[in-house]
């Protein structure tokens, strides 16, 4: 990808902000990167440089130097927003912080600029209702890290202009992301609600002594996750019965109905269970190796992305 495709302001230099800067810069956008902490911003640039080099080494980015050159830092929010047609906000995940930053951005951003939040749970209606430009605001929630996991959930408020959603979708698609639409606002959006349902059952299975954390993880990575890496749950069950999804429901609905009665009972993630999980995970991975393992995760994700791209070419997807 290349060429000047307009300027995007990325606000906040944490992991998500850094990854968004990479996404937009590699797609040909100029990125104006801002954080209230200059040391954090400077450190983020070094981390971005390393990530771009890793993408290049994995065959996922042709010219890391050109992508890096598209990213510039902005000392102030005003400087970051000047001339930006799109803003990706990544500040603290509290309703108050979102309200504060969006009030300022709505006041000083170009009138035609779209204002998007990377919020993972806070609905756009909770921090945009009183804004003059509320019609241009929405949540665009990524997975972590977005430069390697392409899903992005577009969750508009009831008053968000549909044209804004369409423009946002087009921008993310051009940047190589996979946008989905959250048709109605809901806490946690789609990704975290699906993840939360799986985590709730995983926690119960460990808490009740049915399996270890390691074996639950194996069940996903060496079982369900292999299919889920290239197709979702509905396509999975559609292909898992001779006559498709209706046949699957007819065969297995009673089994799932029985399980749902147990699974529907909520459990708090209490200290006792936390201690069990922490103990098992730290035995498998000492705390001082978490960063090392995160790097391993990212390299595995890059290898998977490269494989999926090559496989898609061969089978004509």
Q: How far apart are CA 129 and CA 137, in angstroms?
A: 10
Chain region(s) in the chain for CATH 3.40.50.720: 7-181
Q: In this predicted model, what pLDDT tens digit does every residue of 176-195 receive, in sequence order?
A: 999 999 999 999 999 999 99
Q: How far apart are CA 180 and CA 178, in angstroms?
A: 7
- Give the E-state strand segments of 24-177 in sequence order: 30-34, 71-74, 86-89, 114-117, 137-142, 151-156
Query: Which residues does the chain have with pLDDT short of 70?
Result: 1-4, 316-317
Tell me, what's the pLDDT at 316? Answer: 67
Tell me, what's the pLDDT at 5? Answer: 82
Tell me, what's the pLDDT at 70? Answer: 96
Tell me the pTM: 0.90
Sequence-ordered list of residues with C-beta below 8 angstroms from that of 177, at least 6 positions apart, any chain: 23, 142, 146, 150, 151, 152
192-284 maps to CATH 1.20.5.510: no
Sequence-ordered list of residues with C-beta below 8 angstroms from that of 211, at least 6 positions apart, any chain: 205, 219
Which of 177, 120, 186 lies closest to 158 in space, CA to CA? 186
Phi, psi of 4 (to 5 degrees): -80, 115
Chain region(s) in the chain for CATH 1.10.1040.10: 192-284
Tell me, what's the pLDDT at 4? Answer: 56
Tell me, what's the pLDDT at 2? Answer: 42
Cα of first residue to Cα of last residue in the chain, in angstroms, is 20
Half-sphere CA count of 259, side-chain side, radius 13 A:
8
Could you tell me which CATH class the domain 7-181 is placed in?
alpha beta
Over its C-alpha atoms, the chain yields an Rg (Å, rounded) of: 21
């Amino acid at each position: 990808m290349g060429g000047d495709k307009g300027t995007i302001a990325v606000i906040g230099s944490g992991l998500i902000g850094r990854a968004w800067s990479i996404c937009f810069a590699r797609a040909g956008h100029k990125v104006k990167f801002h954080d209230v902490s200059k040391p954090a911003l400077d450190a983020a640039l070094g981390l971005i440089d390393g990530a771009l080099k890793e993408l290049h080494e994995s065959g996922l980015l042709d010219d890391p130097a050109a992508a890096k050159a598209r990213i510039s830092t902005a000392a102030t929010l005003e400087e970051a927003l000047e001339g930006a047609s799109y803003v990706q906000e990544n500040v603290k995940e509290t309703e108050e912080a979102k309200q504060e930053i969006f009030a300022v951005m709505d006041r000083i951003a170009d009138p035609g600029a779209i204002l998007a939040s990377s919020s993972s749970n806070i609905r756009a209606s909770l921090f945009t209702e009183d804004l003059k430009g509320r019609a241009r605001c929405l949540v665009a929630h990524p997975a972590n890290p977005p430069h390697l996991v392409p899903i992005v959930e577009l969750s508009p408020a009831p008053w968000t202009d549909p044209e804004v959603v369409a423009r946002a979708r087009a921008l993310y698609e051009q940047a190589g992301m996979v946008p989905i639409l959250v048709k109605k606002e809901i806490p946690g959006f789609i990704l975290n609600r699906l993840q939360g349902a799986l985590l709730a059952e995983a926690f119960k299975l460990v808490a009740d002594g049915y399996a270890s954390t390691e074996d639950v993880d194996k069940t996903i990575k060496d079982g369900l996750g292999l299919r889920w890496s290239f197709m979702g749950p509905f396509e999975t069950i559609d292909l898992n019965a001779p006559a498709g999804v209706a046949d699957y429901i007819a065969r297995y609905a009673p089994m799932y109905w029985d399980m749902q009665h147990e699974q529907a009972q909520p459990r708090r993630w209490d200290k006792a269970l936390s201690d069990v999980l922490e103990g098992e995970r730290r035995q498998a991975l000492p705390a001082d190796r978490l960063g090392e393992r995160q790097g391993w995760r990212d390299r595995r994700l890059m290898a998977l992305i490269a494989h999926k791209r090559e496989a898609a070419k061969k089978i004509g997807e």
